[in-house]
Amino acid sequence: MDEGHIGVDESGKGDFFGPLVIAACYVGPEHLAELEGVKDSKKLTDPMALKLSDQIKRVCPHAVVAIGPAKYNELYAKFKNLNTLLAWGHARAIENVLEQQPATKVISDEFAKGGHAVKRSLFEKGRSLEFISAVRAEQDIAVAAASVLARAEFLRRLKRLGEEFGMTLPKGASTPVLDAGASFVRKFGADKLVNVSKTHFKTFENVKQRAGV
């Protein structure tokens, strides 16, 4: 790495329960020695991601945009497109890092298709950035650091959300999620799902069916 740049990534996009979290992180040559062990969060255990996120926060300029389920559902209804919502969140996270640290380049995963949607969502300060979107962008250290920050914040918020309702809310959208969702509906009612889940998922209807609603 010749110069510093910003990486951006998200977590929670495919999880029925919990928030959508987008993180941006600036990594320069001066930070590399402190980031040993940082890699794509999908290759880390949850405890490792949580531990590494504290390390990254101490070292690197960063920003985390966490969109809780109720707000997420409200924004999804407005944007009617997940990529548009993601672009908006990416842009906010990038702008927040630029407030702390000047940069000329941003690297993201390929959802952004060249970054056009994100660029359109950026304010003036971010519009001059070189925006690179790539398959397996998490191989870049700044994107990997952002992925760890996003994953750790997702895990913390999912845990808090479960504690708020007195039950465990599983990750993903598999059978344990359907079981937990049906249990939630029986306990609190289907109308409360908006506060803990992403209601545009097919899982939403499956959960209600399983709960007999």
Q: Does residue 132 share a domain with residue 43?
A: yes
Q: Does residue 143 share a domain with residue 170?
A: no
Q: Does residue 135 share a domain with residue 114?
A: yes
Statement: the pTM of the whole predicted model exceeds 0.85: yes
Amino acid in the structure at residue 72: Y
> pLDDT tens-digit profile of 163-210?
999 999 999 999 999 999 999 999 999 999 999 999 999 999 999 999
Torsion angles phi and psi, residue 101, rounded to 5: -150, 120
Domain range holding 203?
161-210
Instruction: Count up the domains in the chain and report the number.
Output: 2
Residue with tokens 């799902």: 193
Q: Does residue 95 share a domain with residue 29?
A: yes
Torsion angles phi and psi, residue 25, rounded to 5: -145, 130
**Residue-level pLDDT, tens digit, the chain, 213 residues:** 468 999 999 999 999 999 999 999 999 999 999 998 898 788 899 999 999 999 999 999 999 999 999 999 999 999 888 888 888 899 899 999 999 999 999 998 766 554 566 767 665 666 678 888 877 777 899 999 999 999 999 999 999 999 999 999 999 999 999 999 999 999 999 999 999 999 999 999 999 999 998
Q: Does residue 137 share a domain with residue 49?
A: yes
In sequence order, the β-bridge partners of residue 108 are 133
Within 10 Å of residue 183's Cβ, how many Cβ atoms? Answer: 15
Q: Does residue 182 share a domain with residue 144?
A: no
Q: Does residue 114 share a domain with residue 39?
A: yes
Q: Does residue 115 share a domain with residue 80?
A: yes
Q: Does residue 144 share a domain with residue 103?
A: yes
